[in-house]
């Protein structure tokens, strides 16, 4: 015995539900990406420095564990261990380091597009305070 259920309808895809799902996925990825960027900025307060290339590196083991890292960005601004400082603050910090340890190792990370005068200025401040154990960080 055959039961008649009416006319057969072809199956349809519910576009409204599909659009809602895509919208929620889009929002999730947008929010997750934003949080990821903020987290990386908080964790990695690195200064974008494009280091110059070098064919040979001397005393790499000493340069990898310095007492102070001075970074010079493209515009010639100074940073000590990731914090922006003025030239006078840099000089004061070098004076303190020299008073504590005259053999302290100082590593200079200068952007390759930075004005060379900025690097020389840091080297002059180190020499003025008697700090002669300097290393310049470069890319291999």
Average pLDDT, the chain: 78
Residues 26-53 have a mean pLDDT of 65
User: Which CATH code, of 3.40.50.1970, 3.40.630.40, 3.50.50.60, 3.30.420.270, is assigned to 60-136?
Assistant: 3.30.420.270
**Interatomic CA distance for residues 71 and 82, integer angstroms:** 8
Every domain of the chain and the residues it spans: 11-44, 60-136
pLDDT tens string 61-86 = 545 678 888 999 888 899 988 889 99
Among 134, 137, 85, CA closest to 110:
137
* Model confidence at 38: pLDDT above 70: no
* Model confidence at 112: pLDDT above 90: no
| pLDDT for res 88 | 92
Strand, coil or helix: what is 79? strand
The sheet with strand 106-110 has its strands ordered as 83-85, 78-80, 68-72, 106-110, 134-136
């Amino acid at each position: 015995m055959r039961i008649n259920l009416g006319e057969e309808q072809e199956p349809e895809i519910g576009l409204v539900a599909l659009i809602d799902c895509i919208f929620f996925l889009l929002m999730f990825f947008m929010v997750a990406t934003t949080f990821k960027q903020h987290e990386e900025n908080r964790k990695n307060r690195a200064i974008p420095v494009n280091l110059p290339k070098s064919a040979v590196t001397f005393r790499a083991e000493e340069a990898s564990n310095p007492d102070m890292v001075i970074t010079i960005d493209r515009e010639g601004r100074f940073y000590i261990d990731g914090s922006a400082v003025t030239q006078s603050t840099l000089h004061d910090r070098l004076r303190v380091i020299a008073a504590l340890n005259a053999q302290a190792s100082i590593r200079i990370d200068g952007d390759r597009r930075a004005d060379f005068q900025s690097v020389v200025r840091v080297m002059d401040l180190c020499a003025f305070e008697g700090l002669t154990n300097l290393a310049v960080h470069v890319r291999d």
